[in-house]
């Protein structure tokens, strides 16, 4: 190890290399960690995505907690062995890892870091220094990521990708705008002295569905209409997809298991839905069939698909996906035999979230990556446009909507930051809405009492609302759930804002605001 370098950063780099060599995304490592036996017959633990991101962060390196370190390494070694993946000797030697951790512990004990300065207000990043490119309609295709903070007592008991689209509410009164477990916000956001003016709403949610089985989180929800009636489409960790009637509060059929692994994202554009799974496949669902039927679209990818969002290009519905194979792709559900085309080129990072909308009349996508980058894509021209800016860790929540004649996006990251982006500005730059002590896992954009709002869900199990015009908290948030939500969608029912969320404990909650 280079003695002049920070040993924490070098250790984080080695952990990152081990994770990648074992073929594990952050989200897959989170899931697999709970299945890894402990060496001293201790109770199994499940690593949070935010914890994993901190452990491999070289920009903010930390010394992992011993239990987290053991489970991280043991899970990677277990999966590599099960998949018969050869590891370099320096990575595959368990005793060498223990010795490396002891050296790191000894160093940090002798050379502790000075305490970080206290921030009195959220940090706002300047606009990206990268030159903006003009977004034009398609003519020719151009190729062009710590230690956990001890949680405080939650203020309220009550959370991309998950993903929704303007198409999701074709038959509902207002368009649905796109998307995609700690302590309260670091700043005072959400307290009564910080609330923006509003017309009032009831923040208490209603339980739509209790857990259907143990250890089966609801990873994705989408909201739209079918035959003129509101419908919620749900994707779970057991690989199933299910339809629900949010007004009658009844299931429209049983869970349908057509995926082999968890369904991380669902996009809805009646009469079809598209589901994305850790098994590396997209499936298009015919919601008019009873029960709904599905067909795999194209070939299985070389990594799990973390997000899917729907849009329209030249009159046809398309699906935009982001996956662990480092690609953003555009798929055509009407032609399921065809594999999605890579937008731009393959990146050097996993794509963790994606959302779609229109900008200056052109269909666009915004993606979040494991490297923290937020990228803008021209879906019609099938090219990358620009990197809008970067978070300090993976971006799991992404949503896009409109505010007047402007297109706006929001992003939430494992670094705890929740940002908004004015995509209509000549040089789009991110504005920090808040920095939390915990990861932001889901987001949605919609209209509440005539104002464009964003909804954020975080690992402290809080669901907060933000007025995008002012950048300030709106109301008291949403209450009810006790576990963090992995997905949120927002739309309209009969002129009232509707929100649905899927949670870590397997529950589904709704609000009619």
The upper half-sphere exposure of residue 194, i.e. CA atoms within 13 Å in the direction of its Cβ, equals 18
What is the fold, at CATH topology level, of the domain defined by 166-512?
Answer: Methylamine Dehydrogenase; Chain H (2.130.10)
> Measured at the alpha carbon of residue 63, what is the angle toward residues 59 and 64, in degrees to the nearest 5?
110
Q: How many CB atoms lie within 10 A of CB 495?
A: 8
Q: Which of 392, 390, 388, 394 is nearest to 408 (CA)?
A: 388
| 303's tokens | 């990594």
Task: Say which residue the tokens 């203020």 belong to.
Answer: 155
Task: Say which residue the tokens 């519905």 belong to.
Answer: 317
Q: Report the Cα–Cα distance between both ends of the chain, in Å, rounded.
A: 56
Distances (CA, A) of 448 to 25, 269, 422, 468: 36, 22, 19, 11
Task: Say which residue the tokens 């008291």 belong to.
Answer: 476
Predicted local distance difference test score (pLDDT) of residue 109: 64
Predicted local distance difference test score (pLDDT) of residue 111: 58
What's the CA gap between 273 and 275, in Å, rounded?
7
Q: How many CB atoms lie within 10 A of CB 238?
A: 17
pLDDT (tens, 9 = 90+) of the chain, 513 residues, equals: 344 467 888 899 899 999 988 888 888 898 889 889 987 778 888 998 878 988 988 777 888 888 999 999 999 999 999 888 888 888 988 888 988 888 887 777 665 555 444 443 333 333 333 333 333 333 322 222 233 333 332 322 222 333 333 333 332 233 333 333 233 333 333 333 344 445 588 999 999 999 998 888 999 999 999 988 999 999 999 999 999 999 999 999 999 999 999 999 999 999 999 999 999 999 999 999 999 999 999 999 988 999 999 999 998 999 999 999 999 999 999 999 999 999 988 999 999 999 999 998 899 999 999 999 999 999 998 899 999 999 988 999 999 999 988 999 999 998 889 999 999 988 877 889 888 888 899 999 999 999 999 999 988 889 999 999 999 999 989 999 988 889 999 999 988 999 999 998 899 999 999
> Measured at the alpha carbon of residue 176, what is the angle toward residues 485 and 159, in degrees to the nearest 5?
15
What's the CA gap between 234 and 241, in Å, rounded?
6
Domain boundaries, the chain: 7-110, 166-512
| 38's tokens | 């402990």
CB 174 within 8 A of CB 401: no
CB 276 within 8 A of CB 306: yes
Predicted local distance difference test score (pLDDT) of residue 490: 95
CB 415 within 8 A of CB 350: no
| 58's tokens | 């070289």
Q: Which of 392, 347, 337, 338 is nearest to 367 (CA)?
A: 347
Render the burial of 383-418: b for 16+ CB within 10 Å, e for the rest. Answer: bbbbebbbbbbbbbbbbbbbbeeebbbbbbbbbbbb
Q: Residue 14, SS3? A: helix
The upper half-sphere exposure of residue 243, i.e. CA atoms within 13 Å in the direction of its Cβ, equals 24
What pTM was estimated for this model as a whole?
0.68
């Amino acid at each position: 190890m280079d003695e002049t370098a920070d040993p924490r950063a070098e250790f984080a780099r080695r952990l990152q290399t081990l994770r990648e060599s074992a073929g594990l995304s952050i989200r897959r490592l989170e899931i697999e960690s709970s299945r890894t036996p402990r060496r001293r017959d201790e109770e199994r633990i499940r690593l949070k995505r935010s914890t994993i991101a901190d452990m491999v962060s070289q920009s903010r390196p930390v010394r992992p907690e011993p239990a987290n370190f053991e489970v991280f390494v043991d899970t990677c070694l277990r999966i590599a062995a099960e998949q018969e993946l050869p590891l370099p000797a320096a990575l595959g030697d368990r005793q060498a890892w223990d010795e490396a951790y002891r050296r790191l512990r000894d160093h940090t004990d002798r050379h502790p870091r000075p305490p970080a300065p206290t921030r009195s207000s959220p940090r706002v990043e300047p606009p990206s220094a990268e030159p903006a490119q003009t977004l034009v309609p398609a003519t020719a295709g151009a190729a062009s990521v710590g230690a956990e903070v001890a949680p405080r007592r939650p203020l309220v008991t009550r959370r991309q990708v998950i993903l929704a689209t303007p198409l999701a509410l074709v038959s509902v009164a207002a368009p649905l705008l796109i998307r995609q477990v700690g302590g309260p916000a670091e700043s005072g956001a959400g307290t009564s002295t910080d609330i923006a003016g509003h017309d009032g709403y009831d923040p208490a949610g209603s339980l739509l569905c209790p857990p259907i089985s143990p250890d089966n989180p609801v990873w994705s929800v989408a909201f739209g209409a079918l035959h003129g009636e509101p419908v919620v489409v749900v994707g779970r960790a057991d690989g199933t997809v299910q339809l629900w009637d949010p007004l009658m509060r009844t299931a429209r059929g049983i869970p349908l298991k057509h995926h082999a692994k968890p369904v991380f994202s669902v996009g809805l554009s009646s009469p079809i839905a598209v589901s994305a799974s850790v098994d590396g496949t997209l499936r298009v669902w015919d919601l008019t069939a009873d029960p709904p039927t599905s067909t795999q679209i194209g070939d299985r990818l070389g990594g799990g698909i973390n997000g899917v969002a729907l849009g329209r290009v030249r009159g046809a519905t398309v699906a935009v996906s982001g996956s662990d194979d480092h690609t953003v792709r555009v798929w055509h559900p009407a032609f399921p035999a065809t594999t999605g085309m890579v937008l731009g080129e393959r990146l050097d990072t996993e794509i963790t979230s994606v959302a779609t909308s229109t900008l200056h009349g052109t269909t666009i996508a915004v993606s979040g990556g494991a490297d923290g980058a937020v990228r803008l894509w021209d879906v019609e021209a099938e090219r990358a446009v620009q990197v809008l800016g970067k978070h300090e860790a993976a971006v799991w929540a992404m949503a896009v909507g409109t505010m007047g004649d402007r297109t706006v996006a929001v992003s939430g990251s494992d670094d705890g930051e929740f940002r908004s982006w004015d995509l209509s500005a000549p040089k789009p730059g991110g504005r920090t809405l808040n920095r939390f002590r915990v990861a932001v896992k889901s987001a949605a954009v919609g209209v509440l009492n005539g104002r464009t709002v964003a909804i954020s869900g975080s690992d402290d199990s809080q669901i907060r609302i933000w007025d995008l015009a002012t950048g300030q908290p709106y109301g008291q948030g949403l209450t009810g759930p006790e576990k963090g939500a992995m997905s949120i969608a927002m739309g309209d029912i009969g002129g009232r804002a509707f929100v649905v969320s899927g949670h870590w404990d397997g529950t589904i909650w709704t609000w009619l605001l």
